[in-house]
């Protein structure tokens, strides 16, 4: 893959909600344009006690 040019670099943080195959692909593409990508997915609730 080629490095993004300065004009195509957006910067900041992109947030992707959902770690399905589509969410993972979106995060990968966004990683070329943003400084960081935060991928959120619903998990199992934490057990207490």
pLDDT digits (tens, 9 = 90+) for 6-24: 668 999 999 999 999 999 9
Q: Which two tokens stand for residue 48?
A: 């207490």
The contacts of residue 37 (CB under 8 Å, 6+ apart) are 13, 14, 15, 16, 27, 30, 31
Domain-embedded: residue 4: no
- Which structural domain, as residue segments, surrounds residue 17? 13-40
pTM of the full predicted structure?
A: 0.71
In whole angstroms, give the CA distance from residue 30 to residue 25.
9
In this predicted model, which residue has the larger pLDDT, 41 or 43?
A: 41
Domain-embedded: residue 27: yes
Domain-embedded: residue 5: no
Number of domains in the chain: 1
Domain-embedded: residue 21: yes
Domain-embedded: residue 30: yes
């Amino acid at each position: 893959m080629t490095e993004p040019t300065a004009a195509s670099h957006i910067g900041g943080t992109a947030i992707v909600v959902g770690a399905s195959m589509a969410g993972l692909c979106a995060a990968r593409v966004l990683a070329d344009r943003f400084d960081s990508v935060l991928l959120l997915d619903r998990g199992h609730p934490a057990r207490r006690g």
